[in-house]
Amino acid sequence: MTQNLPGLDPALAERFAAIVGERYAVRAEADIEPYVHEPRGLFTGATTLVLRPGSVEEVSAIMKLASETRTPIVPQGGNTGLVGGQVPDRSGGQVVLSLSRLNRIREIDPVSNTVIAEAGVVLDTLHKAADEVGRLYPLSLASQGSCQIGGNLSSNAGGTGVVAYGNARELCLGVEVVLPTGEVLDDLRKLKKDNTGYDLKNLFVGAEGTLGIITAAVLKLFPKPKGREVAWVGLPSAEAALALFNIAQDLGGGALTAFELIGRTPMSFAMRHIPDARPPLMDDWPWEVLMEISSGRSAEDARTLIEDILSAGFEADQVDDAVIAASVGQANEFWRLREMLPESQKPEGASIKHDISVPIASIPAFIEQAAVAVAGVCAEARVVCFGHMGDGNLHYNISQPVGTEAAAFLALYRDMNKAVHDVVRSMNGSISAEHGIGQLKRDELIATAPPHAIELMRRVKSAFDPAGIMNPGKTI
Protein backbone atom coordinates (compact mmCIF):
# COMPACT_ATOMS: atom_id res chain seq x y z
CA MET A 1 0.00 0.00 0.00
CA THR A 2 1.35 3.43 -0.92
CA GLN A 3 0.97 6.42 1.36
CA ASN A 4 -1.62 9.14 0.75
CA LEU A 5 0.51 12.15 1.67
CA PRO A 6 0.57 15.63 0.19
CA GLY A 7 3.81 17.03 -1.12
CA LEU A 8 5.53 15.08 -3.89
CA ASP A 9 3.75 15.24 -7.22
CA PRO A 10 3.03 11.70 -8.53
CA ALA A 11 4.35 12.56 -12.00
CA LEU A 12 7.57 13.85 -10.45
CA ALA A 13 7.86 10.72 -8.33
CA GLU A 14 7.71 8.69 -11.55
CA ARG A 15 10.57 10.70 -13.04
CA PHE A 16 12.71 10.07 -9.97
CA ALA A 17 11.80 6.37 -9.92
CA ALA A 18 12.78 5.99 -13.57
CA ILE A 19 16.36 6.94 -12.69
CA VAL A 20 16.90 4.00 -10.34
CA GLY A 21 14.32 1.59 -11.74
CA GLU A 22 11.10 0.52 -10.09
CA ARG A 23 12.82 -2.14 -7.97
CA TYR A 24 14.87 0.49 -6.19
CA ALA A 25 12.17 3.13 -5.81
CA VAL A 26 10.57 2.32 -2.46
CA ARG A 27 6.96 3.47 -2.29
CA ALA A 28 4.99 1.00 -0.18
CA GLU A 29 4.24 2.38 3.27
CA ALA A 30 5.51 -0.71 5.10
CA ASP A 31 8.77 -0.65 3.15
CA ILE A 32 9.27 3.07 3.76
CA GLU A 33 8.73 2.76 7.51
CA PRO A 34 12.37 1.91 8.47
CA TYR A 35 13.63 5.01 6.66
CA VAL A 36 11.54 7.58 8.53
CA HIS A 37 12.44 6.74 12.14
CA GLU A 38 15.71 7.15 14.03
CA PRO A 39 17.10 4.88 16.77
CA ARG A 40 16.00 6.90 19.81
CA GLY A 41 12.47 7.47 18.55
CA LEU A 42 12.80 11.24 18.98
CA PHE A 43 12.09 12.08 15.33
CA THR A 44 9.60 10.53 12.95
CA GLY A 45 9.22 11.82 9.42
CA ALA A 46 7.17 10.98 6.35
CA THR A 47 7.87 10.47 2.67
CA THR A 48 6.22 8.89 -0.32
CA LEU A 49 9.50 7.92 -1.99
CA VAL A 50 12.82 6.41 -1.00
CA LEU A 51 15.39 6.15 -3.79
CA ARG A 52 18.17 3.55 -3.64
CA PRO A 53 20.65 4.44 -6.40
CA GLY A 54 23.33 1.94 -7.33
CA SER A 55 25.90 4.24 -8.91
CA VAL A 56 27.33 7.73 -8.70
CA GLU A 57 25.75 8.43 -12.08
CA GLU A 58 22.31 7.68 -10.67
CA VAL A 59 22.94 9.91 -7.65
CA SER A 60 23.99 12.67 -10.04
CA ALA A 61 20.86 12.25 -12.15
CA ILE A 62 18.68 12.36 -9.03
CA MET A 63 20.29 15.59 -7.89
CA LYS A 64 20.02 17.19 -11.33
CA LEU A 65 16.28 16.50 -11.34
CA ALA A 66 15.96 17.65 -7.73
CA SER A 67 17.76 20.89 -8.56
CA GLU A 68 15.60 21.45 -11.62
CA THR A 69 12.37 20.85 -9.68
CA ARG A 70 13.55 22.22 -6.30
CA THR A 71 12.77 18.91 -4.60
CA PRO A 72 14.28 18.51 -1.11
CA ILE A 73 16.60 15.49 -0.75
CA VAL A 74 17.46 13.77 2.55
CA PRO A 75 20.60 11.59 2.27
CA GLN A 76 20.64 8.53 4.50
CA GLY A 77 23.24 5.89 5.32
CA GLY A 78 22.70 3.15 7.89
CA ASN A 79 20.14 5.25 9.79
CA THR A 80 22.09 5.01 13.04
CA GLY A 81 22.39 8.76 13.65
CA LEU A 82 21.24 10.06 17.03
CA VAL A 83 20.24 13.67 16.27
CA GLY A 84 17.65 13.25 13.51
CA GLY A 85 19.92 14.38 10.69
CA GLN A 86 18.87 11.47 8.46
CA VAL A 87 15.10 11.73 8.94
CA PRO A 88 12.78 13.64 6.56
CA ASP A 89 10.22 16.10 7.85
CA ARG A 90 6.51 15.23 8.14
CA SER A 91 5.35 16.95 4.97
CA GLY A 92 5.80 13.97 2.66
CA GLY A 93 7.44 16.24 0.11
CA GLN A 94 11.04 15.30 0.83
CA VAL A 95 12.71 12.38 -0.94
CA VAL A 96 14.96 10.06 1.06
CA LEU A 97 18.09 9.03 -0.84
CA SER A 98 19.59 5.87 0.62
CA LEU A 99 23.27 5.22 -0.13
CA SER A 100 23.16 1.57 0.96
CA ARG A 101 23.64 0.15 -2.56
CA LEU A 102 26.84 2.12 -3.11
CA ASN A 103 28.69 -0.51 -1.13
CA ARG A 104 31.84 -1.35 -3.09
CA ILE A 105 35.36 -1.17 -1.78
CA ARG A 106 36.98 0.15 -4.93
CA GLU A 107 40.60 -0.25 -3.89
CA ILE A 108 42.79 -1.23 -0.96
CA ASP A 109 46.39 -0.06 -1.17
CA PRO A 110 48.41 -1.50 1.75
CA VAL A 111 51.58 0.22 0.53
CA SER A 112 50.02 3.69 0.62
CA ASN A 113 47.91 2.62 3.63
CA THR A 114 44.68 3.78 2.00
CA VAL A 115 41.32 2.37 1.01
CA ILE A 116 38.73 3.82 -1.36
CA ALA A 117 35.29 2.91 -0.05
CA GLU A 118 31.86 3.90 -1.29
CA ALA A 119 29.42 5.60 1.04
CA GLY A 120 27.25 2.52 1.62
CA VAL A 121 30.07 0.28 2.86
CA VAL A 122 29.23 -0.89 6.37
CA LEU A 123 31.95 0.00 8.87
CA ASP A 124 32.38 -3.59 10.05
CA THR A 125 32.79 -4.73 6.44
CA LEU A 126 35.59 -2.21 6.01
CA HIS A 127 37.26 -3.45 9.21
CA LYS A 128 37.30 -7.00 7.85
CA ALA A 129 38.57 -5.96 4.43
CA ALA A 130 41.44 -4.04 6.01
CA ASP A 131 42.25 -6.95 8.29
CA GLU A 132 42.55 -9.29 5.32
CA VAL A 133 45.51 -7.27 3.98
CA GLY A 134 47.15 -6.84 7.38
CA ARG A 135 45.87 -3.34 7.98
CA LEU A 136 43.62 -1.55 10.47
CA TYR A 137 40.88 0.99 9.86
CA PRO A 138 40.64 2.35 13.41
CA LEU A 139 37.23 4.05 13.50
CA SER A 140 35.34 2.02 16.10
CA LEU A 141 31.68 2.57 16.98
CA ALA A 142 29.04 0.60 18.84
CA SER A 143 26.90 0.68 15.67
CA GLN A 144 29.67 -0.61 13.39
CA GLY A 145 27.60 -3.60 12.28
CA SER A 146 25.11 -1.31 10.53
CA CYS A 147 26.49 2.23 10.23
CA GLN A 148 27.95 3.20 6.87
CA ILE A 149 31.02 5.12 5.77
CA GLY A 150 29.07 7.96 4.19
CA GLY A 151 27.18 8.58 7.42
CA ASN A 152 30.37 8.27 9.47
CA LEU A 153 31.95 11.03 7.41
CA SER A 154 28.86 13.21 7.16
CA SER A 155 28.56 13.24 10.96
CA ASN A 156 32.33 13.27 11.56
CA ALA A 157 31.97 10.22 13.79
CA GLY A 158 34.30 9.71 16.72
CA GLY A 159 34.20 6.54 18.81
CA THR A 160 36.72 4.87 21.07
CA GLY A 161 39.91 5.18 19.00
CA VAL A 162 40.06 8.96 18.64
CA VAL A 163 42.70 9.29 21.37
CA ALA A 164 45.22 7.57 19.08
CA TYR A 165 43.91 7.89 15.53
CA GLY A 166 41.58 10.88 15.39
CA ASN A 167 37.95 11.11 14.34
CA ALA A 168 36.44 10.46 10.91
CA ARG A 169 37.65 13.80 9.55
CA GLU A 170 41.24 13.00 10.44
CA LEU A 171 40.95 9.57 8.82
CA CYS A 172 39.79 10.97 5.48
CA LEU A 173 42.21 11.97 2.70
CA GLY A 174 39.76 12.64 -0.12
CA VAL A 175 36.11 12.47 -1.13
CA GLU A 176 33.84 12.04 -4.10
CA VAL A 177 30.78 14.23 -3.72
CA VAL A 178 27.65 14.80 -5.77
CA LEU A 179 26.70 18.46 -5.47
CA PRO A 180 23.12 19.77 -5.32
CA THR A 181 23.32 20.57 -9.03
CA GLY A 182 24.25 16.99 -9.90
CA GLU A 183 27.86 17.89 -10.64
CA VAL A 184 30.38 15.39 -9.31
CA LEU A 185 33.44 16.57 -7.39
CA ASP A 186 36.13 13.90 -7.78
CA ASP A 187 38.68 14.58 -5.06
CA LEU A 188 39.68 10.96 -4.40
CA ARG A 189 43.36 11.68 -3.92
CA LYS A 190 45.51 9.49 -1.69
CA LEU A 191 47.89 12.26 -0.72
CA LYS A 192 48.92 13.02 2.83
CA LYS A 193 50.52 16.26 1.66
CA ASP A 194 48.54 18.52 -0.66
CA ASN A 195 48.50 22.29 -0.30
CA THR A 196 46.85 23.11 -3.63
CA GLY A 197 44.13 25.53 -2.60
CA TYR A 198 41.20 25.15 -0.23
CA ASP A 199 40.72 21.80 1.51
CA LEU A 200 37.29 21.18 0.01
CA LYS A 201 36.79 17.73 1.49
CA ASN A 202 36.51 19.16 4.99
CA LEU A 203 33.52 21.25 3.97
CA PHE A 204 31.60 18.03 3.34
CA VAL A 205 32.90 15.94 6.23
CA GLY A 206 30.70 16.82 9.21
CA ALA A 207 28.18 18.78 7.09
CA GLU A 208 25.46 16.15 7.62
CA GLY A 209 24.46 16.08 3.95
CA THR A 210 23.56 19.78 3.84
CA LEU A 211 26.13 20.72 1.17
CA GLY A 212 26.31 17.61 -1.01
CA ILE A 213 26.25 13.83 -0.95
CA ILE A 214 29.47 11.96 -0.20
CA THR A 215 29.48 8.92 -2.49
CA ALA A 216 33.01 7.62 -1.83
CA ALA A 217 36.09 8.47 0.18
CA VAL A 218 39.80 7.77 0.48
CA LEU A 219 40.45 6.65 4.05
CA LYS A 220 43.65 6.09 6.00
CA LEU A 221 44.74 2.62 7.04
CA PHE A 222 47.32 1.68 9.65
CA PRO A 223 49.53 -1.36 10.23
CA LYS A 224 47.80 -3.91 12.44
CA PRO A 225 49.16 -3.88 15.98
CA LYS A 226 51.32 -6.88 16.79
CA GLY A 227 50.33 -6.76 20.44
CA ARG A 228 47.17 -5.64 22.19
CA GLU A 229 46.37 -5.57 25.90
CA VAL A 230 43.15 -4.48 27.58
CA ALA A 231 42.78 -3.63 31.26
CA TRP A 232 39.83 -2.76 33.50
CA VAL A 233 40.69 -0.38 36.32
CA GLY A 234 38.90 0.72 39.49
CA LEU A 235 39.49 4.27 40.72
CA PRO A 236 38.32 6.41 43.64
CA SER A 237 37.55 9.56 41.66
CA ALA A 238 37.47 11.25 38.29
CA GLU A 239 40.61 13.11 39.34
CA ALA A 240 42.35 9.76 39.80
CA ALA A 241 41.19 8.70 36.35
CA LEU A 242 42.69 11.86 34.88
CA ALA A 243 45.95 11.19 36.72
CA LEU A 244 46.04 7.64 35.33
CA PHE A 245 45.40 9.01 31.84
CA ASN A 246 48.41 11.30 32.18
CA ILE A 247 50.54 8.36 33.31
CA ALA A 248 49.29 6.28 30.35
CA GLN A 249 50.14 9.09 27.95
CA ASP A 250 53.58 9.61 29.40
CA LEU A 251 54.53 5.92 29.40
CA GLY A 252 52.49 4.66 26.45
CA GLY A 253 52.53 7.58 24.03
CA GLY A 254 50.91 6.58 20.75
CA ALA A 255 50.42 3.03 22.01
CA LEU A 256 47.48 4.21 24.15
CA THR A 257 44.59 3.40 21.82
CA ALA A 258 41.63 3.68 24.20
CA PHE A 259 40.85 5.23 27.57
CA GLU A 260 37.17 4.90 28.44
CA LEU A 261 35.73 6.36 31.65
CA ILE A 262 32.68 4.70 33.23
CA GLY A 263 30.71 5.86 36.27
CA ARG A 264 29.14 3.67 38.95
CA THR A 265 25.55 4.17 37.74
CA PRO A 266 26.07 2.97 34.14
CA MET A 267 28.01 -0.01 35.51
CA SER A 268 25.10 -0.93 37.77
CA PHE A 269 22.72 -0.66 34.81
CA ALA A 270 25.03 -2.89 32.77
CA MET A 271 25.07 -5.60 35.43
CA ARG A 272 21.27 -5.54 35.59
CA HIS A 273 20.46 -5.50 31.90
CA ILE A 274 23.30 -6.84 29.73
CA PRO A 275 22.87 -10.59 29.16
CA ASP A 276 25.60 -12.68 30.82
CA ALA A 277 27.43 -9.57 31.99
CA ARG A 278 29.99 -10.15 34.73
CA PRO A 279 31.79 -7.40 36.63
CA PRO A 280 35.47 -7.27 35.65
CA LEU A 281 36.46 -6.32 39.22
CA MET A 282 35.51 -7.86 42.56
CA ASP A 283 34.31 -4.57 44.08
CA ASP A 284 32.32 -1.59 42.85
CA TRP A 285 34.28 1.60 42.39
CA PRO A 286 33.09 5.20 41.97
CA TRP A 287 34.80 5.29 38.58
CA GLU A 288 36.20 2.61 36.32
CA VAL A 289 38.34 2.79 33.20
CA LEU A 290 38.71 0.52 30.19
CA MET A 291 42.23 1.03 28.87
CA GLU A 292 43.78 -0.44 25.74
CA ILE A 293 47.43 -0.53 24.72
CA SER A 294 48.42 -1.51 21.16
CA SER A 295 52.03 -2.12 20.16
CA GLY A 296 53.43 -2.16 16.67
CA ARG A 297 56.46 -4.09 17.92
CA SER A 298 55.26 -7.18 19.78
CA ALA A 299 52.77 -8.71 22.19
CA GLU A 300 55.44 -8.65 24.87
CA ASP A 301 55.90 -4.92 24.40
CA ALA A 302 52.16 -4.27 24.82
CA ARG A 303 52.11 -6.37 27.99
CA THR A 304 55.11 -4.59 29.46
CA LEU A 305 53.63 -1.17 28.69
CA ILE A 306 50.26 -1.83 30.30
CA GLU A 307 51.89 -3.39 33.36
CA ASP A 308 54.19 -0.38 33.72
CA ILE A 309 51.24 2.02 33.46
CA LEU A 310 49.21 0.17 36.08
CA SER A 311 52.20 -0.19 38.41
CA ALA A 312 52.81 3.54 38.20
CA GLY A 313 49.13 4.15 38.90
CA PHE A 314 49.22 1.96 42.01
CA GLU A 315 52.43 3.58 43.24
CA ALA A 316 50.87 7.04 42.83
CA ASP A 317 47.80 5.92 44.86
CA GLN A 318 45.52 6.66 41.91
CA VAL A 319 44.51 3.07 41.11
CA ASP A 320 42.58 0.94 43.63
CA ASP A 321 42.15 -2.23 41.60
CA ALA A 322 42.88 -3.49 38.09
CA VAL A 323 42.75 -6.60 35.96
CA ILE A 324 44.43 -7.23 32.62
CA ALA A 325 42.41 -9.40 30.24
CA ALA A 326 43.78 -12.94 30.33
CA SER A 327 42.69 -13.78 26.80
CA VAL A 328 41.35 -12.29 23.59
CA GLY A 329 37.93 -13.52 24.63
CA GLN A 330 38.07 -11.70 27.95
CA ALA A 331 39.33 -8.53 26.24
CA ASN A 332 36.40 -8.72 23.83
CA GLU A 333 34.05 -9.23 26.77
CA PHE A 334 35.40 -6.08 28.39
CA TRP A 335 34.69 -4.19 25.18
CA ARG A 336 31.22 -5.71 24.88
CA LEU A 337 30.41 -4.40 28.32
CA ARG A 338 31.53 -0.91 27.35
CA GLU A 339 29.70 -0.92 24.02
CA MET A 340 26.44 -2.11 25.56
CA LEU A 341 26.26 0.73 28.09
CA PRO A 342 23.83 2.83 25.98
CA GLU A 343 21.51 -0.16 25.57
CA SER A 344 21.58 -0.94 29.28
CA GLN A 345 20.17 2.50 30.03
CA LYS A 346 16.97 1.92 28.06
CA PRO A 347 15.25 -0.44 30.57
CA GLU A 348 15.73 2.18 33.28
CA GLY A 349 13.15 4.45 31.64
CA ALA A 350 13.25 7.81 29.93
CA SER A 351 16.58 9.55 29.54
CA ILE A 352 17.87 12.95 28.55
CA LYS A 353 21.19 12.56 26.75
CA HIS A 354 24.13 14.86 26.17
CA ASP A 355 27.08 14.27 23.85
CA ILE A 356 29.57 16.83 25.12
CA SER A 357 33.27 17.55 25.06
CA VAL A 358 35.45 19.70 27.28
CA PRO A 359 39.22 20.05 27.54
CA ILE A 360 40.52 16.80 29.04
CA ALA A 361 41.96 18.62 32.05
CA SER A 362 38.46 20.00 32.80
CA ILE A 363 36.67 16.65 32.94
CA PRO A 364 36.69 16.25 36.75
CA ALA A 365 35.45 19.82 37.25
CA PHE A 366 32.77 19.32 34.60
CA ILE A 367 31.52 16.15 36.29
CA GLU A 368 31.30 17.92 39.65
CA GLN A 369 29.61 21.07 38.36
CA ALA A 370 27.23 19.27 36.01
CA ALA A 371 25.99 17.05 38.86
CA VAL A 372 25.03 20.17 40.80
CA ALA A 373 23.31 21.62 37.73
CA VAL A 374 21.33 18.41 37.15
CA ALA A 375 20.22 18.28 40.78
CA GLY A 376 18.96 21.83 40.42
CA VAL A 377 16.58 20.69 37.69
CA CYS A 378 15.59 17.30 39.13
CA ALA A 379 17.04 16.31 42.48
CA GLU A 380 16.33 12.58 42.13
CA ALA A 381 17.54 12.20 38.53
CA ARG A 382 20.27 9.62 37.98
CA VAL A 383 23.46 10.71 36.23
CA VAL A 384 24.72 8.12 33.73
CA CYS A 385 28.19 9.32 32.78
CA PHE A 386 30.58 7.40 30.56
CA GLY A 387 32.66 8.10 27.50
CA HIS A 388 35.95 8.72 25.81
CA MET A 389 38.04 10.43 28.46
CA GLY A 390 41.09 10.23 26.22
CA ASP A 391 39.62 12.80 23.83
CA GLY A 392 37.47 14.82 26.25
CA ASN A 393 34.12 13.43 25.04
CA LEU A 394 31.58 12.29 27.63
CA HIS A 395 28.11 10.86 27.17
CA TYR A 396 26.49 12.67 30.07
CA ASN A 397 23.06 11.09 30.20
CA ILE A 398 20.32 11.60 32.77
CA SER A 399 17.87 8.81 33.60
CA GLN A 400 14.49 9.44 35.11
CA PRO A 401 14.12 9.05 38.88
CA VAL A 402 12.86 5.68 40.07
CA GLY A 403 9.08 5.73 40.34
CA THR A 404 8.62 8.84 38.19
CA GLU A 405 6.47 9.02 35.07
CA ALA A 406 8.51 9.22 31.87
CA ALA A 407 6.42 12.03 30.42
CA ALA A 408 6.89 14.18 33.50
CA PHE A 409 10.64 13.68 33.37
CA LEU A 410 10.90 14.35 29.63
CA ALA A 411 9.05 17.61 30.16
CA LEU A 412 12.29 18.77 31.75
CA TYR A 413 14.24 18.13 28.52
CA ARG A 414 14.97 21.74 27.63
CA ASP A 415 15.74 22.80 31.20
CA MET A 416 18.09 19.83 31.66
CA ASN A 417 19.84 20.48 28.34
CA LYS A 418 20.34 24.11 29.25
CA ALA A 419 21.70 23.28 32.70
CA VAL A 420 24.25 20.80 31.38
CA HIS A 421 25.18 22.77 28.28
CA ASP A 422 25.69 25.95 30.31
CA VAL A 423 28.39 24.11 32.25
CA VAL A 424 29.91 22.89 28.98
CA ARG A 425 30.01 26.38 27.51
CA SER A 426 31.54 27.81 30.68
CA MET A 427 34.52 25.52 30.00
CA ASN A 428 34.75 26.37 26.28
CA GLY A 429 33.43 22.93 25.42
CA SER A 430 31.12 21.61 22.72
CA ILE A 431 27.47 20.58 22.97
CA SER A 432 28.01 18.06 20.15
CA ALA A 433 31.23 16.10 20.34
CA GLU A 434 30.58 13.27 17.90
CA HIS A 435 26.86 12.84 17.12
CA GLY A 436 26.36 15.99 15.06
CA ILE A 437 23.68 18.69 15.15
CA GLY A 438 20.86 17.37 12.96
CA GLN A 439 17.44 18.49 14.13
CA LEU A 440 18.01 17.88 17.82
CA LYS A 441 20.57 20.62 18.45
CA ARG A 442 19.98 22.95 15.50
CA ASP A 443 18.10 25.67 17.37
CA GLU A 444 20.51 25.62 20.29
CA LEU A 445 23.48 25.90 17.94
CA ILE A 446 21.95 28.89 16.20
CA ALA A 447 21.06 30.54 19.51
CA THR A 448 24.40 30.03 21.25
CA ALA A 449 27.18 29.88 18.65
CA PRO A 450 29.04 33.11 17.80
CA PRO A 451 26.82 35.07 15.37
CA HIS A 452 29.68 35.52 12.90
CA ALA A 453 30.26 31.76 12.83
CA ILE A 454 26.58 31.12 12.05
CA GLU A 455 26.62 33.78 9.35
CA LEU A 456 29.70 32.23 7.73
CA MET A 457 28.06 28.79 7.82
CA ARG A 458 24.97 30.21 6.13
CA ARG A 459 27.11 31.79 3.42
CA VAL A 460 28.78 28.44 2.76
CA LYS A 461 25.37 26.74 2.65
CA SER A 462 24.02 29.35 0.21
CA ALA A 463 27.08 29.06 -2.03
CA PHE A 464 26.75 25.29 -2.41
CA ASP A 465 22.98 24.95 -2.15
CA PRO A 466 21.25 28.19 -3.13
CA ALA A 467 17.96 26.38 -3.70
CA GLY A 468 18.03 24.92 -0.19
CA ILE A 469 17.27 21.36 -1.31
CA MET A 470 20.04 19.51 0.55
CA ASN A 471 18.76 18.02 3.81
CA PRO A 472 16.75 21.13 4.72
CA GLY A 473 16.10 21.91 8.37
CA LYS A 474 19.29 20.24 9.58
CA THR A 475 22.38 21.79 11.21
CA ILE A 476 21.63 25.45 10.44
> Tell me: the pLDDT tens digits for 209-256?
999 999 999 999 999 999 999 999 999 999 999 999 999 999 999 999
Q: Are strands 172-178 and 213-220 parallel, antiparallel or unpaired?
A: antiparallel
pLDDT for position 4: 55
3-state secondary structure 138-155: CCCCCCCCCCEHHHHHHC
**Residue 216 pLDDT:** 98
As a whole number, mean pLDDT of residues 362-380 equals: 98
Express each pLDDT in 82-104 by its tens digit: 899 999 999 999 999 999 999 99
pLDDT, tens digit, 9 for 90 and up, residues 377-416 = 999 999 999 999 999 999 999 999 999 999 999 999 999 9
Does residue 117 register a pLDDT over 80?
yes
pLDDT at 1 over 80: no
Write the pLDDT tens digit of every residue in 145-182. Answer: 999 999 999 999 999 999 999 999 999 999 999 999 99
The confidence score (pLDDT) of residue 293 equals 98
For the chain, the average pLDDT equals 96
Q: What is the mean pLDDT of residues 185-211?
A: 96
